[in-house]
A and B are shown apart, each in its own frame.
Chain A
Amino acid sequence: MAGVLLIGCTEVKQQPQTAGPADIGGTMVVATPAEPGTILPGLYSTSVERQVTDLLFDRLAEIGDDLNSIGDKGFTPQLATRWEWAPDSLSIVFHLDPRARWHDGQPVRASDVRYSVSLIKDPTFGSPMASSTMNVDSVSVRDSLTAVAYFKKHTPEQFFDLVYQVSIVPEHILGNTPPAQLRTAEVARRGIGSGRFRLAHWDQGKRLELIADTANYRGRAKLDRIVYSVSLDFNSAVARLFTGDADFFEQLRPENMAKVEKDTSLRALPYPSLQHTFLALNMIDPAHPGQPNPIFGDRTVRRALTMAVDRAGMLRNVFGAMAHPSYGPFPRFLAVADTTLPQLPYDTLRARALLDSAGWTPGPDGVRTKNGQRLAFTITTTVSSATRKQYAVLLQEAFKRVGAAVNIDATDFAGSAAKLAGRSFETTLVTFAPDPNVSGIRQAWSSAALGKDGLNYPSYVNPIVDALLDSATISFDPARARAYSRRAFEIIIEDAPGIWLYEAPTVAGIHKRIHTTGLRADEYWARMADWWIPASERTPRDRIGLRPAPTP
C-alpha cells in the first residue's frame, strides 16, 4: 500500500486536489490497444472490457483502497446505501439508494440485484465470475429497495464474493433474453447501467464513447466524455499521445519516458497494479502427463536454476530503474503481500554445486546430463511482448552459464495460451494478476488449482502450503491471514516452482490538463468519474459539451 500512498502524495504536490464547480466538463481520449468485445458485466475477459463495464455499471459497494477482502471493512456504499449482517452472518440485507436510476430512467430495484446474482450463477450464461460466487446461495426481494443475500456458509470473504464480483445489471433490459443468448444479444450491447458514465456511441473497430450521466445518483462525472479510440499498433498509439490526438495511453514503455519528460503537455502517471511476471517451471512432464518432469520435478534443480538467475541485473537491463522485482508468488500491492521474505540468492557457484549434487554432470558440449537426460528445455513466450522476449534471451544466457541448453519458443498469444492451458510447456513466462484477495493466491498455488480449470500453471503441490492457504482463506483476522500467507509464501519461494522476475512498471502517459484522483491497484480507473480538467486548461475538444451531435 506504500506505493499507492506515494503516488497519491506525488500528485498532491503537482496538482490541485479537488475540482471546483467550474471544472466540470472536458473530454479525455484514450488510445486503447484493444477494443471491447462485450460491455456486459460478468462476461468481460480483457482489461478494456472490464474498464468500460466498471464505468457503466455499479456494484452494491466498492472495495477500499487497501483492497481488504475480509468482512466489509473499507467497503464504501455504491448502489447500496447501507447493509446489515444477520446474527448468524449467513445473510446480509442491502438497502438500495432510492435515487439510483438506470440510464434509461427506470429505478434500480432489489429485483435487479436478485437477477444479477442469478445471472452470474447461471451456468448457461458462462460467466468467469460464477466460481467466485458459489458461496452466494440466492437473493430474495424484501421490497423494491431491499435485497437480502443468503450465503451457504459464513466465510471471511463472503461480502467480497458478492459485492466485488457482481455488478448490478437491469432486469427489465436483459431479463427477456435467455442467459445463454446474452453473449451475442443486441440488448447486451446497449450498455444501460447505473454508473456515472453512460454509453453514447459504439462504433466497433473505431471508437467507443461514454458521456457523463448528468442525473446520476452519485453525482455527475466530472468529465463530459471519455472516448476509447482503437490503436492496435503500439507505436501508433504512442504517436497519438505525443501528437495530442489522444490524452491517455495505459502502458508506456521505458523508452518512451524521456520523451514524456521533455513534452510540456504530457506527464507520466505511474499507477499500482497486481500484475507480476515469473518463469513457471512445469513439474509435470509435458510428454507424459501425470509423470513428474525429469528436470523440474527435482526441487534441487529448480533451486539451482533460480540461483543461476541475476534477477536484479536483468531488471536493470530491461527496465532501467523503473520496474520492481517480484518477491514471490504475489504482487506487492496485495493486502497479504510481504516484500521482506528471504529469497534464494543469485549465486552461480552454488547453483552449479547444487546441480552437481543432484547428479547433473557437464557433458563434452558443456550441457549437463543425468542418466542420459540432457539439461535442455524450452522457454515459451509470446511474440507480442518485447519485454518477455528480452527476458527469455537473458534467461537463456543465464541458464547456459550453469550448463543448461535452452531454446526459446516465441509464439502468438493464442498458441501460448493453448500451451499454458494444456500444461504442454516446459517453462513459460507468465504475467498474472490475481484477484485482490487471499483466494486469488489460492487460485494459483494450491493443489485445488491444478488441472485445466486452475491457474496453478507449474502444477505445484505442497500439502503444507495447501493447509496454510486454506487457513488464510478462512481466517477472519487479517493479521492471522497475513501470517498464514507469509508462511505459505516462504515455502513456495524455497520450493521454487517458478522464478520470480518482475513487476513491470505500469506507467500511463496522460495529458497534463487532466487531473486524476486515487488510483487503486486492482482498477486504476475506479475513480475515473472524478478525474477532471480545469476550465482554464481546456482545449477545443473539451468545449463540445454534452450537446448531441448534429444529424449528418
Chain B
Amino acid sequence: MRRFVAGRLAQAAIVVFLVTTVTFVLVHLAPGDPFATALARPGITEALRQQQREAFGLDRPLGEQYLRWIGNAARGELGWSISFNRPVRDVIADALPRTLLLVGLSLALSFALGIVVAVLQTERPGGRRDRWLGRILLLLYSVPDFWLALVVLLIFAYWLPIFPPSGIVDPVRHDYMSFSGRLLDRLSHLVLPVTTLTLLATAAISRHQRSALMEVMPSDWMRTAIAKGMSHRRAVRRHALRNALLPAITLAGLYLPALAAGALFVEKVYSWPGMGLLAANAIVTRDYHLVTAAVLISSIAVALGALLADVAVAAADPRIRVS
C-alpha cells in the first residue's frame, strides 16, 4: 500500500506540474493582459502600461516568468494578484474556506440524501415510489446548474422571500448581531446555494447508488439473510448497503476536487465569493498568478481525490488489491 501511495503521489506531482505549466502558458497566450481592462480610461498610455508590466515582471520572457513563479510557489509564495492588489496567497486564503463550507456541506448532505433515496427506491424496485423518485432524480440530473440556481433563487428569495438571495452574511447587520444571530444569519445565507448544489449532486449519487444496490440485491447472502427472518429493510441496511458503497466512494473521490475548485455557476448566481468565482474572474481580468494558483490548487485536489478514492475503495473492500 505504501508503495502504491508513493507511486500515485509521484504521478500526481507530475500531473499537477503539467496542468499548471499548460495553464500558465495558455493564460499568457490569451489576448490582452492584466492592464488591458483599464484601457478605455483616458490618460492611460502604452508607456504607462509598459511601466506596470515591468513593475510586475510581465515584460520578461515567458520561460523566465514561469521559472520565477515555480520557484516562488515552491516557497509558498503564489505571486501577486493584480486585480485584487493583494498577495495571491491571501486572496485564496479568503476564498477557499468559503468554498470548503459551501461545497463540503453540500457534499455531506448530498451523499446522505443520495444514499437514503437509493435505499428507499430499492425497497420496492419498480414500485410507485421508485418510479416517482426516479423521474424526479432524472429531472434534477438533467437540468443545468445555473438554471436550477436561478429557479431556486426566484422561488425562495423572490416570490417567497424566505431566504436571502446572495452573499455569505447580511452586509450590514451581521457584525451587530449576537453570536446566535450571526450563526443564524450565516446559515440562512447558506440555505439556497447549499440546496441547489445538494439537489444537483444527490441526483447523480442516488442514481449510482440505486444501480449498485440493485446489483447486490439478488445475491445469495441477501436471500439467506431474508430467509433467516431478517426484514427486507434491515437486510438492505445491514448487508446490501455496505456491499454497494463502492460507487459512492468513487463518486466522493470525483466530487472532492469541487471542495477546492468551487462551483462556479452556483457561486455566481448567489454571489458566493468562493474559489469558482475567483478563478473565473481571474481569467477574465487576466490575473495570471491568481489563475495559475487556482488551477494549481484544483489540480492538487483532483489528484488527491483520485488517490483517496482508490485507497478508500481498497480499504472498504478487502477483495480489491492496490498495486
Q: Point out residues on A near B: beta carbons under 8 Å.
A: 27, 29, 37-38, 45-46, 123-124, 126-132, 180, 183-184, 189, 204-207, 225, 227, 229-233, 235-237, 239-240, 242-245, 411-421, 432, 434-435, 440, 443, 451-453, 455, 540-541, 544, 547, 549-550, 552
Contact = CB atoms under 8 A, between A and B. Distances in A.
A418 B94 contact: no
Contact of B176 (A128, A230, A435, A550): A550
A512 B306 CA distance: 54
A37 B84 contact: yes
A415 B86 CA distance: 24
A240 B165 contact: yes
A180 B56 CA distance: 11
Given A206-B168, A417-B36, A128 B91 contact: no
A417 B278 CA distance: 21
Nearest to B281: A232
Given A245-B165, A420-B39, A549 B48 contact: no
B42 interface: yes
B40 A230 contact: no
B1 interface: no
A164 to B, nearest CB: 12
Contacts of B277: 232
A255 to B, nearest CB: 14
B85 A183 contact: yes
Interface string B198-220: 00000000000000000000000
Nearest to B81: A37
A132 B42 CA distance: 9
Interface stretch (B69-77, B267-275, B311-319): B267-275
A128 B55 contact: no
Interface of B: 30-33, 36-48, 51-52, 55, 80, 82-86, 91, 94-95, 150, 153-154, 157-158, 161, 164-168, 170-173, 175-176, 179, 182, 268-271, 273, 277-278, 281, 284-286
Given A236-B153, A417-B40, A184 B176 contact: no
A243 B171 CA distance: 14
Contact of B175 (A45, A413, A416, A549): A549
Contact of A128 (B42, B161, B281): B42
A229 B171 contact: yes
Given A45-B37, A547-B176, 16 more contacts: A37-B84, A126-B52, A128-B48, A180-B55, A204-B84, A206-B167, A231-B271, A235-B153, A236-B269, A239-B166, A243-B161, A243-B165, A412-B284, A413-B36, A418-B31, A418-B36
Contact of B39 (A180, A417, A435, A549): A417
Contacts of A189: 85
A206 B273 contact: yes
A69 to B, nearest CB: 14
Contacts of A414: 30-33, 36-37, 284-286
B15 to A, nearest CB: 28
A207 B158 contact: no
A552 B169 CA distance: 14
B33 A205 contact: no
A418 B176 CA distance: 45
Given A37-B85, A236-B271, A131 B45 contact: yes
B44 A45 contact: yes
Contacts of B37: 45, 413-414, 417
B185 to A, nearest CB: 12
Given A131-B43, A245-B167, A126 B51 contact: yes
A38 B39 contact: no
A129 B278 CA distance: 30
Contact of B85 (A130, A184, A455, A540): A184
B42 to A, nearest CB: 5
A223 to B, nearest CB: 12
Contact of A45 (B33, B41, B80): B41
A419 B153 CA distance: 37
Contacts of A205: 84, 91, 94-95, 273, 278
B86 A443 contact: no
A420 B83 CA distance: 21
21 contacts: A27-B172, A37-B85, A45-B44, A123-B51, A126-B52, A128-B44, A130-B48, A183-B55, A204-B94, A206-B171, A207-B171, A236-B269, A236-B271, A239-B157, A243-B165, A414-B37, A415-B30, A416-B32, A451-B46, A540-B173, A544-B176
A547 B91 CA distance: 29
B158 A37 contact: no
A440 B42 contact: yes
A227 B94 contact: no
B273 A230 contact: yes
Contacts of A237: 271
Nearest to B51: A126
Contact of B268 (A126, A232, A549): A232
Contacts of B273: 205-206, 230
Contacts of A432: 40
B272 to A, nearest CB: 10
B171 A227 contact: yes
Name which of B44, B46, B86, B277 has the most chain A CB atoms within 10 A of its CB: B44
Nearest to A180: B55
A128 B84 contact: no
B247 to A, nearest CB: 34
Nearest to A207: B171
A419 B33 CA distance: 11
Contact of A413 (B83, B154, B170, B284): B284
Nearest to B173: A541
A443 B45 CA distance: 12
Nearest to A204: B84
B83 A37 contact: yes
B41 A128 contact: yes
Nearest to B171: A229
B270 to A, nearest CB: 7
B90 to A, nearest CB: 9
Contacts of B31: 411, 414-415, 418-419
Nearest to A418: B32
A453 B47 CA distance: 8
A103 B30 CA distance: 43
A38 B85 contact: yes
B269 A233 contact: yes
A540 B177 CA distance: 12
Contacts of A549: 175-176
A180 to B, nearest CB: 7
Contacts of A232: 268, 271, 277, 281
A132 B41 CA distance: 12
A234 B55 CA distance: 34
A454 to B, nearest CB: 9
A513 to B, nearest CB: 14
